[in-house]
Amino acid sequence: MFLINCPFCGEREQSEFKAGGEAHISRPKQPTELSDDEWAEYLFMRKNIKGIQFERWNHSHGCRKWFNIARDTSNDQIKAVYKMGQKPPVI
Amino acid sequence: MLNYNSPLVKENSYSELSMKVINPIMKLIIRGKKREFLSGVGKAINMILPTESCTSSTSNDTTALWLSPDEWMILSNNVIDKNTNSYEQENHLINNISKINLGAVVDVTDQYVLINIEGKKIFDLLSTGCPFNFNDFRNKKGGVIQSLMAKIDIIVHHKEINNVNLLVRRSFSEHLYSFLSDAASRI
């Protein structure tokens, strides 16, 4: 359990949020031209690294807005919180 | 208003705490992003929507709660007529907002139950099941938060010092009310 600083509501407890997986994965522009492997790569394959990972989170029991965080997966420290559409900060 | 017999006890009192269900209260959810939306709502209900997060604004007969950057809840301050489903302010909002595609207006009068809690130990009571840190909130009149209480979504409106309005979905209200009653009897 940890605290997340929602960019809209302020600091809240993790149980109010839903994790939305890895951030900054863009949908292929022409899905019909992809092979099955490439499509599977886009759909299912995630990095799941130990260290700083950029993730999408949703404040589902609060303002219901999506945003991004940079979280160190080894100790759950949140290095940065930034809104959707913004570029990931350099950490 | 639905012809609905609420199973909730209308009023419960404990030491330095009292809870009562207030109904019927007009409740509307409005959503919109454009600047014209904000000014249109201002004209329709004669008050300015709070744009700062987790705040509310109140006029003589209406209260607006900030729920998210593009979502607000409008409450009537006083109890409304039981036998109606149409409210003057809702009609104003529909004409000024929905009909010209500036945003959405939804009547949620029957979807939410408003529980008013009074007394010195309100935040001790809420802390029994809510992960939110009330230390700053307890001194901030007019504050609004959405959080969880015993895993149930709630909206907390700090109406006045020692007076809090709790909004909860009707289907969860009975469970929440019995949780609160039980917790209040042990504080």
Residue B1 has pLDDT above 80, yes or no: no
Domain end call among B108, B131, B147: B108
Q: What is the CATH number of the domain that holds B48?
A: 3.30.70.1520
Question: Within this chain, do residues B130 and B163 fall inside the same structural domain, yes or no?
Answer: yes
Instruction: Answer whether B41's CB lies under 8 Å from B33's CB.
Output: no
| Chain A residue nearest residue B130, CA to CA | A13
Residue B36 lies inside a defined structural domain of this protein: yes
Q: Minimal Cα–Cα distance from B148 to chain A, Å?
A: 7
Question: Within this chain, do residues B30 and B104 fall inside the same structural domain, yes or no?
Answer: yes
Mean pLDDT, rounded, for A73-84 = 95
Which residues touch A44 (CB under 8 Å, ≥6 apart)? none
The type of residue at A39 is: W
- Reduce the DSSP state of residue A80 to 3 states and report it: strand
Of the two residues B159 and B9, the one the predictor is more confident about is B159
Of the candidates B69, B132, B133, the beta carbon closest to that of A8 is on: B69
Of the candidates A8, A12, A13, the beta carbon closest to that of B68 is on: A8
* Percent of all residues in chain A with a pLDDT value above 90, rounded to a whole number: 97
What is the rounded CA–CA span in Å between residue B67 and residue B70? 8
pLDDT for the residue B82? 80
Of the candidates A11, A15, A61, the beta carbon closest to that of B146 is on: A61
Q: Would you state the structure tokens that stand for residue B175, as one six-digit string?
A: 């469970």
The type of residue at B17 is: L
Question: Within this chain, do residues B115 and B98 fall inside the same structural domain, yes or no?
Answer: no
For residue range B71-121, list pLDDT tens digits in order.
999 999 998 888 888 888 899 999 999 999 999 999 999 999 999 999 999
Q: What is the CATH number of domain A3-83?
A: 3.30.2270.10
What is the rounded CA–CA span in Å between residue B117 and residue B144? 15
- Print the domain residue range for B30: 25-108
Question: Within this chain, do residues B90 and B127 fall inside the same structural domain, yes or no?
Answer: no
Question: Within this chain, do residues B116 and B146 fall inside the same structural domain, yes or no?
Answer: yes
| Chain A residue nearest residue B51, CA to CA | A8
Mean pLDDT, rounded, for B127-142 = 94
pLDDT for the residue B68? 96
Mean pLDDT, rounded, for A17-33 = 94
Mean pLDDT, rounded, for B22-30 = 92
Question: Within this chain, do residues B30 and B85 fall inside the same structural domain, yes or no?
Answer: yes
Instruction: Kindly report the backbone phi and psi dihedral angles of residue A18, in degrees, each rounded to the nearest multiple of 5, phi listed first.
Output: -120, 135
- Which residues of chain A neighbour B132 with C-beta distances below 8 Å? 12-13
Beta carbons within 10 angstroms of residue A90's beta carbon: 6
Residue B1 lies inside a defined structural domain of this protein: no
DSSP classification of residue B41: H
B17-22/B112-118 β-pairing: antiparallel
Domain end call among B80, B108, B136: B108
Q: Is B53 exposed, middle or buried (0-12, 13-18, 19+ CB in 10 A)?
A: middle
The number of domains in chain B is 2
Q: Minimal Cα–Cα distance from B126 to chain A, Å?
A: 15
pLDDT for the residue B50? 95
pTM: 0.91
Among B residues 30-69, those touching chain A with beta carbons less than 8 Å apart: 53-54, 67-69
Q: Give the domain ranges of chain A.
A: 3-83
What is the rounded CA–CA span in Å between residue B74 and residue B89? 9
pLDDT for the residue B86? 83
Chain mean pLDDT for chain B: 92
Domain end call among B108, B135, B156: B108
